[in-house]
A and B are shown apart, each in its own frame.
Chain A
Amino acid sequence: MVPSLIIYGLINSVALALIALGFSLTYGISRVANFSHGALYVVTGFAAWLLLNRVQLNYYLAVFLAVVLISVIGASIYRLALIRVRGMPLLEIIVTFALGTAALEALRFFGFFGSNYSLPPLFRGGVTLLGVPVDTQRLAVVVIGGTLVFILWLVTHHTRVGLAFRAMAQDEQAAMMLGIDSDLMATWSLALGAALVGLSAIVLLPLSFIATESGANILVSAIAVCILGGLESTAGVIVASLLIGYAQILTVAYLGPHYQMIVALLAILVTLIVKPSGLFGKQKELEERV
């Protein structure tokens, strides 16, 4: 029991981190809370499915095109819509949330729901770790998730683009004065965030079905991890995913599967009430300010 809890807890944690990375990146750079995050996840899944089964493309090409497509969609959400309500966080939320809902419900209308659709796993077969059978795809999740977090850290801390991103996250107006195009950066942040969530969909969806119903859960999980860890903090994403990931596996094991989302929802509420800036957040604005 214990080794299986440890292993599946880790897998669940990395899956959560994968889901949350895109949300955190977008928010960290452009301060846009992308509430269409869950919809982007589901759309990637169906796009890949269509490319594979209807267009009959080769797996790698289909997956690549799906991720490119979703990042183009992310960029156009900013270019076509968000740019008009920039700087009004609540309208940004309403717009992205409504767009996400529209996309999900449209997919449902065209019959994409239930357990009829799934993506093929990249790796088949399985291994036994500490006496627990684990399929290779789940191990791939851990490896890909770890690699992505590392690459992201490298890019934001050791490249010029990453520096520009961080400059913008700290002070948009000052960054603009130094010649950083804030709209361009925000477009990139949306595109990158969407590409990340697309990647996570490609990696995670083979483990279950592509279902419109999961859109809301994905959004809630991403928000839960980001809020608990502190929005925009990469270290926070990792720690919070581990906390929520293991808490979920434990409650599911001892209380039942219904409790998985309750853990995430409670994490959001409790964090916001007790320490709104999260474990690693640097949001001074939330404290008393004069």
Chain B
Amino acid sequence: MPLLTVSEVSKSFGGIKALDGISFSVAENDVLGIIGLNGSGKTTAVNIISGFAKPGSGQVRFKDRDITGLPPHRIAGLGIARTFQTVRPFHNLPAFKNLIVPLYSPRIRKFTEGGRWGDRDAVALDLLEEVGFERDSYVPYKPASTLPHGYLRRLELARCLALKPDLLMTDELFSGLSASEVGSMVPLIEKLQTRGMTLIMVEHRLRELFRLANKIVVMDRGRKIAEGSPSEIVENSTVKETYLGAEL
């Protein structure tokens, strides 16, 4: 049984149909890649699943439960975490204090409670080390507003991991990163996958995505035009025409 099912979801902004009856599902421990040109509705799909946008019609089911139209914090509480396309750290807080927020959310609070305050700090530092912050340096203690972009991406990922999600959705996680930064991010995603996490990745970096994902959904103008394993997608003629042609 699939972990997440999106069925016949439509959404329009004014007159423009951002999503037009899109359906797909993700099985447990899958890595689903969503690709498509700009404006094809990828981010809208992520927003609808995570509750940041309400669908015009259609249904989203997670763990066999209808989550359509629930507010974002409830969906996060059920175990769906997401990153944002443009990083959204809490600028005024030190990097490790950023993670106090998800650690304090009702979903996680019960695991991190019991001691005095400061206990969550230790958990936060562990998480930051996991995504590649140097633990003994000053970096985790600097205000998020002073960190370079690469660290902010990692911080965003750590904020999601702090929720111990069952499903992690990344929205262009690799954008704005240098080649070496992407190179160090890929093994991290692989590690999450081996740990049993399910991922949905919206991505423009096809080379890395095709290495990580075992299923790809191709979108064009709010519709799904193809679905299959990476090797099938590369061979698919419609996809080649609208999207891949130049690149592969």
Contact = CB atoms under 8 A, between A and B. Distances in A.
Please say whether chains A and B are actual partners in one complex: yes
Contact of A288 (B43, B52, B84): B52
A290 interface: yes
Nearest to A289: B52
Contacts of A288: 52-54
B7 interface: no
In the complex, which range does the number of interface residues on chain A fall in?
Answer: under 10
Interface string A264-290: 000000000000000000000000101
A288 B53 CA distance: 7
Contacts of B47: 290
Contacts of B43: 290
Interface in B1-54: 43, 47, 52-54
Interface in B47-68: 47, 52-54
A93 to B, nearest CB: 22
A290 B53 CA distance: 8
Contacts of B54: 288
A290 B47 CA distance: 8
A288 B43 CA distance: 14
Nearest to B43: A290
B41 to A, nearest CB: 13
B18 to A, nearest CB: 12
Contacts of A290: 43, 47, 52-53, 84
A96 to B, nearest CB: 27
Contacts of B52: 288, 290
A289 to B, nearest CB: 9
Nearest to B50: A290
A290 B11 CA distance: 15
B245 to A, nearest CB: 31
A288 B84 CA distance: 15
Interface in B128-179: none
Nearest to A290: B52
In this complex, which of B43, B53, B84 has the most chain A Cβ atoms within 10 angstroms of its Cβ?
B53
A285 to B, nearest CB: 14
A290 B43 CA distance: 9
Nearest to B52: A290
A288 B54 CA distance: 9
Contacts of B84: 290
Nearest to B82: A290
B63 to A, nearest CB: 24
A241 to B, nearest CB: 27
B11 to A, nearest CB: 12
A290 to B, nearest CB: 5
Nearest to B13: A284
Interface string B96-112: 00000000000000000
B9 to A, nearest CB: 16
6 contacts: A288-B52, A288-B53, A288-B54, A290-B47, A290-B52, A290-B53
Given A288-B54, A290-B47, 6 more contacts: A288-B52, A288-B53, A290-B43, A290-B52, A290-B53, A290-B84
